[in-house]
Amino acid sequence: MPESTDTLQSLDPAIRVFFDATNGEDSAAFLAAFAPTAVLNDWGRVFRGLDKIAEWNAAENIGVHSRIAVLGTCPATDGRGGLEVKIKVSGEGYNGGGSFVFTTAGGLISSVLIQG
């Protein structure tokens, strides 16, 4: 399924930067989308703060040339008011589908939950 430009453009700006920076391999922009105290949970492995998120990014995202296609969105069902983004990943790391659940505050990403 091709990426929907309309879906990508309708995302919260910080979430859009997450995908644009990943696909453009811009680590500085990627990290700038996160709040300093943000948490990224990748299938139960938790990365807290920008330094740990930078390590995850280098090992498992931009560092392995990930490309993420946005397939669609829906409200998250976790009761925290987040947004679930359905995705398809390709690159030199994980390849396949899944979803990211984002929460944002103050124009920055406060949490990302990566799941299937």
What structural domains does the chain harbor? Answer: 5-115 (3.10.450.50)
**What pLDDT does 6 receive?**
64
Buried/exposed code over 54-67 (b: 16+ C-beta within 10 A; e: otherwise): bebbeebbbbeebe
Judged against a pLDDT cut of 50, whether residue 14 lies above it is answered with yes
Distance between CA atoms of 72 and 20, rounded to whole angstroms?
15
- Residue-wise pLDDT for 37-80, tens only, equals 999 999 999 999 999 999 999 999 999 999 999 999 999 887 77
| Most confident region among 3-7, 72-76, 88-92 by mean pLDDT | 88-92
Element (H, E) at 75: strand 67-75
Q: CA distances (Å), 115 to each of 6, 32, 99, 100, 106, in order? A: 23, 23, 5, 6, 24
For residues 12-32, average pLDDT = 98
For residues 12-33, average pLDDT = 98
Could you tell me which of 18, 7, 9, 94 has the C-alpha nearest to residue 59? 94
pTM of the model: 0.91
